[in-house]
Structure 1
Amino acid sequence: MNIHNPTAAPTRPTELVLGLDDRPSPPIAFLAALQHLLAIIVPIVTPGLLICQALGVSLRDTNMIVSMSLVISGIATFVQCRRFGPLGAGLLIVQGTSFNFVGPLIAGGVLMVKQGTPVETVMACIFGVVIAGSFIEMGLSRVLPFVKRLITPLVTGIVVLMIGLTLIKVGLISMGGGFAAMSQGTFANGENLLLSGVVLGLIIALNRIPVVWVRSSAIMLALAAGCLLAAWMGRLDFAGVHQAAWFQAPVPFHFGVDFSWSLFAPMVVIYLVTSLEAIGDITATSKISRQPIEGPLWMERIKGGVLVNGVNSLLAGIFNTFPSSVFAQNNGIIQLTGVASRHVGIYIAAVLVLLGLFPTVAGVIQAVPEPVLGGAVIVMFGAVAASGINILAGVHLDRRALLIIAISLALGLGVSQVPEFVTHMPRALADVLESGVATGGICAVFLNWLLPERQEEIID
């Protein structure tokens, strides 16, 4: 998931330097594209890296997965900006690997590995589930008005908050050194905490500097500083670079394809929520770009953007990487720079694809020690939870809403903390409810439908 408030559109008008259809000269377009990439490159590659590290995927396969995340993000960005028939929003939209799916995929995948399933089979199941789930988004893009009535901002806020709260555990594990450090007995030792603490502290410090490019690139700059400290401590491992080929064409179904209902169940809810996030993000981009935010053109953009979310997740599953979604960080960059030209987006897409086709780039990214990455992702994951709170802050929190929030969070967080709760349930039901996000999300959808939206207060 991208770290943002998915439903909030900017309220402050933006003076555009480059409008939606402006065509800047190649040098200017390239520089504007690099400006965007500084703010989004880390969130694009981080989800795949975290999942692979948690499941123990080999360096070579991790390299391929991270590389393909860049390629797939570039393809989606190109289609969103260029627009082909019903595909794409026709706006400056950057798309990247979604954080929404990290928690459930790590939880389900680690459980399968502990049960003795080979890592390659686990990855085949994950990508089979990604492919199956992509059709949910593609179908939703055709029936958005109905879905918006069923999945209200109250439901969306609860699910996004649940995703963020469950991801924080993943972030803390990374700060301590990851699952590898746990097995080696070095988890959360002084060295790991120093690396993660320096990165976290730098992110906070850099956000106090009143320079736009410094604040928008705070995570990238903090990670670079963390890597320098890790190099001084002898913690940088470039084995991934040494194993990387100089060029790698996309290879479909590298792991084969399989399926797991226990992995798929939470993905259904997350695909629903991700589609609704895309609606908010595209609406925000339309507003900043001085385009309509209601009417037929706006609805065409919404449908096209959500459809690309689904189609690109299908491509992601086929080419061995994880689902992608619209990145709302892009809206902040447009607002700060005044660059809303979708032709700049085509340059962004080209750079992403080129970076992905040369696996050495992914090898360098793999060299980042997990505690260094953990210092950054804890901020990203906390921001996901904060986004959920921000969404709920825009909802009228009457007694009905508070009851739905209370029950959904209690059951969702309860199951994620005490998974044994579903042990004696029928296997089919346990597969669905063993994910806290799925339990909380299903509960929120059901209660939102069951309890009338306007309830008369009974006064004694």
Structure 2
Amino acid sequence: MSHGSIGTPQQLRDPNYTPALSRAIPLGIQHVLAMFVSNVTPAIIVAGAAGFGFGSNSPDFPELLYMIQMSMLFAGVATLLQTVTIGSVGAALPIVQGTSFAFLPIMIPLVAGRGVDALAALYGGVIIGGIFHAALGLVIGKIRFALPPLVTGLVVTMIGLMLVKVGIQYAAGGVPAKMSGAAEYGSLLNWSAALVVIVVTLGLKFFTRGMLSISAVLLGLVVGYGYALMMGMVSVEAIGSSWSRAAVFALPMPFKYGFEFSLAAVLGFCLMAFVSAVETVGDVSGITRGGAGREATDAEITGATYADGFGTALAGVFGGLPNTSFSQNVGLIAMTGVMSRHVVTIGAIFLIICGLVPKVGAIIRTIPIEVLGGGVIVMFGMVVAAGISMLSDVDWNRRNMVIFAISLSIGLGLQLEPDAVKHLPDSLRILMTSGLLPAALLAIVLNLVLPQELPDEATDEVSGGHAGQGEGSLPGE
């Protein structure tokens, strides 16, 4: 993309600069395309975990549409908080907000198999956690020391590792099909739809440029949807039924699912708010460095954290899920070189319009679960890769290896074997079996209390007798 046709280099680095609408509108929509699938996927996963039916004739169909609708609407609203700002809320930077994957390991156990009845406690946690998240804006600069790359990289990697199972289940036919013992679960037909999405996504990502590459996952889903339609996995009648049952325009309803205080939900969302806040700090810094060639100011970091938290709390009131800044859009700014916050404002308006039109959600809902599984496998795999990339900044001495090993073993182990803590009280059991929280807490505490240097004999057994190798090296290197 030629910068000269959009503005001067100085203008492009200015968040307050507005390109001509003929350029600004496509750039704004490009931001939406880059995050659209990732933004609505958590709502679909939470609905599936709660046991909502996935067919257009299901009694839960309106609830599915509503959750998708709120994901789009409040991603747009939260993005406006960042770009337009209200007082000290917002960074006045081109930050795109969207539904966060990070909270899924907390949300899935809270709603598992409990249907709509579980949503009151879920949204109670979203609202209180959002307010707590906003309050972190007052101290975010002072707590960053407790969350170095060792901790944040571990957490992001754990998020991806825990969610890849969801992608595989979706690609095979979905959890309901597995639970009912359906013969088609894991069939070649189901997997073929997922593989079409994966192959098309990879082809577009690595062999095209510009909008085609940026929208690879979205276009992969479109091609997969067409394949599923040809193979009879979704009927034209089902699409027509979904379209006709969805309203043309609908406003959000406050406290549609009620409000309930659940200790497990509140603790889970508040603890994850720390990680989300630090992720936002990283995204803000990435935007200012990549787009403007400077470090982020304290006011920008604080304002972004406020917007993160208040955007999440507001979404929770109306049935939306936690919001956070989207890292893929940070990379998009670095690629286009356009720092204008008004470009992202256009994208936010587009998201809000989509969120107010349930027919958009109705079309999304007709995507077969196997097709969505192909996209989810790619996205969650990228989450793992992002975590490993963050861990590459860690000094892999013996101390850090021990912290990582213990935190990963206990966190992932409890998530894989939840019956190991079945005698704990319900709230504590939900938090422990999320896997993510015990791993994060262990990593934070151990990083703060363990001395920077451990004696050799303290780690010989843990490191498998390779203590004599160079720091950070693996056996055989």
Q: TM-score with structure 2 length normalisation?
A: 0.88
Q: Match of 1:48?
A: 43
Identify which of structures 1 and 2 has the higher relative contact order when contacts are C-alpha pairs closer than 8 Å and 6+ apart: 1
Q: Match of 2:304?
A: 305
Paired with 1:60 and 1:16, the residues of 2 have a C-alpha distance of 48
Q: Match of 1:97?
A: 99
Paired with 1:250 and 1:104, the residues of 2 have a C-alpha distance of 24
| 1:139 positional shift | 1.7
Q: Match of 1:157?
A: 153
Q: Match of 1:127?
A: 123
Amino acid at match of 2:316: G
Q: Match of 1:7?
A: none
Amino acid at match of 1:24: P
Paired with 1:355 and 1:425, the residues of 2 have a C-alpha distance of 43
Sequence identity (%) = 34
1:278-322 deviation line (CA, Å, top 9, x unaligned): 00000001112216315xxx1100011011110011011101011
Q: Match of 1:221?
A: 219
Paired with 1:160 and 1:390, the residues of 2 have a C-alpha distance of 10
Q: Match of 2:32?
A: 37
| 1:89 positional shift | 0.7
Contact preservation (8 Å) 1:261, 1:431: no
The answer to which of 153-162 and 254-263 deviates more is: 254-263
Count of residue pairs brought into register by the alignment:
438
| 1:368 positional shift | 0.6
Q: Match of 1:9?
A: none
Paired with 1:254 and 1:229, the residues of 2 have a C-alpha distance of 36
Query: What secondary structure, in the 3-state scheme, does the structure 1 residue paired with 2:138 have?
Result: coil
Residues 1:282 and 2:319 aligned together: no
Query: What secondary structure, in the 3-state scheme, does the structure 2 residue paired with 1:91 have?
Result: coil
The answer to which of 351-360 and 95-104 deviates more is: 95-104
Q: Match of 1:350?
A: 349
1:428-460 deviation line (CA, Å, top 9, x unaligned): 543431221111111111211220234465799
The answer to which of 172-181 and 307-316 deviates more is: 172-181
Q: Match of 1:449?
A: 448
Q: Match of 2:270?
A: 268
Paired with 1:429 and 1:100, the residues of 2 have a C-alpha distance of 19
Query: What secondary structure, in the 3-state scheme, does the structure 2 residue paired with 1:235 have?
Result: coil
Q: Match of 2:12?
A: 18
CA RMSD of aligned residues (A): 2.0
Kindly tell me: are residues 342 and 149 of structure 1, through their superposed partners in 2, closer, same or farther at Cα, counting changes over 3 Å?
same
| 1:383 positional shift | 1.1
Query: What secondary structure, in the 3-state scheme, does the structure 1 residue paired with 2:17 have?
Result: coil
Residues 1:253 and 2:255 aligned together: yes
Contact preservation (8 Å) 1:103, 1:170: no
Kindly tell me: are residues 458 and 15 of structure 1, through their superposed partners in 2, closer, same or farther at Cα, counting changes over 3 Å?
farther
Paired with 1:240 and 1:302, the residues of 2 have a C-alpha distance of 42
Contact preservation (8 Å) 1:63, 1:240: no
The answer to which of 351-360 and 120-129 deviates more is: 120-129
Amino acid at match of 1:133: G
Amino acid at match of 1:18: L
Amino acid at match of 2:116: E
Query: What secondary structure, in the 3-state scheme, does the structure 2 residue paired with 1:99 have?
Result: coil
Contact preservation (8 Å) 1:121, 1:258: no
Match of 2:71 among 47, 53, 69: 69
Q: Match of 2:473?
A: none
Match of 1:87 among 80, 84, 89: 89
Kindly tell me: are residues 428 and 331 of structure 1, through their superposed partners in 2, closer, same or farther at Cα, counting changes over 3 Å?
closer
Query: What secondary structure, in the 3-state scheme, does the structure 2 residue paired with 1:87 have?
Result: coil
Amino acid at match of 1:155: V
Within-5 A mapping of 1:49-448: 49-57=44-52, 58-110=60-112, 113=113, 117=114, 119-182=115-178, 183=180, 185=182, 186-236=184-234, 237-238=238-239, 239-290=241-292, 292-293=294-295, 298-427=297-426, 429-448=428-447
Amino acid at match of 1:336: M
1:372-418 deviation line (CA, Å, top 9, x unaligned): 01101111111111111111110111111000000000001100111
Q: TM-score with structure 1 length normalisation?
A: 0.91
Paired with 1:15 and 1:268, the residues of 2 have a C-alpha distance of 41
1:90-128 deviation line (CA, Å, top 9, x unaligned): 111111001111233123311xx3xxx4x2220111111
1:349-386 deviation line (CA, Å, top 9, x unaligned): 11110010000001001011111011011111111111
Contact preservation (8 Å) 1:64, 1:359: yes
| 1:202 positional shift | 1.3
Amino acid at match of 1:251: M
Paired with 2:11 and 2:119, the residues of 1 have a C-alpha distance of 44
Amino acid at match of 2:310: V
| 1:79 positional shift | 1.5
Paired with 1:458 and 1:423, the residues of 2 have a C-alpha distance of 36
Amino acid at match of 2:136: L
Kindly tell me: are residues 322 and 338 of structure 1, through their superposed partners in 2, closer, same or farther at Cα, counting changes over 3 Å?
same
Contact preservation (8 Å) 2:146, 2:444: yes
Amino acid at match of 1:213: M
| 1:184 positional shift | 5.1
Amino acid at match of 2:280: A
1:125-175 deviation line (CA, Å, top 9, x unaligned): 111111111122112111113311222221111111111110111111111
| 1:227 positional shift | 0.5
Amino acid at match of 1:142: L
Amino acid at match of 1:399: R
Contact preservation (8 Å) 1:162, 1:437: yes
Paired with 1:439 and 1:16, the residues of 2 have a C-alpha distance of 47
Contact preservation (8 Å) 1:261, 1:432: no
Paired with 2:219 and 2:334, the residues of 1 have a C-alpha distance of 21
| 1:348 positional shift | 0.9
Amino acid at match of 1:243: R
The answer to which of 42-51 and 239-248 deviates more is: 239-248
Contact preservation (8 Å) 1:16, 1:340: no
| 1:48 positional shift | 0.7
Contact preservation (8 Å) 1:73, 1:96: yes
The answer to which of 307-316 and 97-106 deviates more is: 97-106
Paired with 1:420 and 1:443, the residues of 2 have a C-alpha distance of 20
Amino acid at match of 2:72: L
Contact preservation (8 Å) 2:110, 2:430: no
Query: What secondary structure, in the 3-state scheme, does the structure 1 residue paired with 2:256 have?
Result: coil
Contact preservation (8 Å) 2:109, 2:430: no
Paired with 2:188 and 2:425, the residues of 1 have a C-alpha distance of 44
Paired with 1:216 and 1:16, the residues of 2 have a C-alpha distance of 25
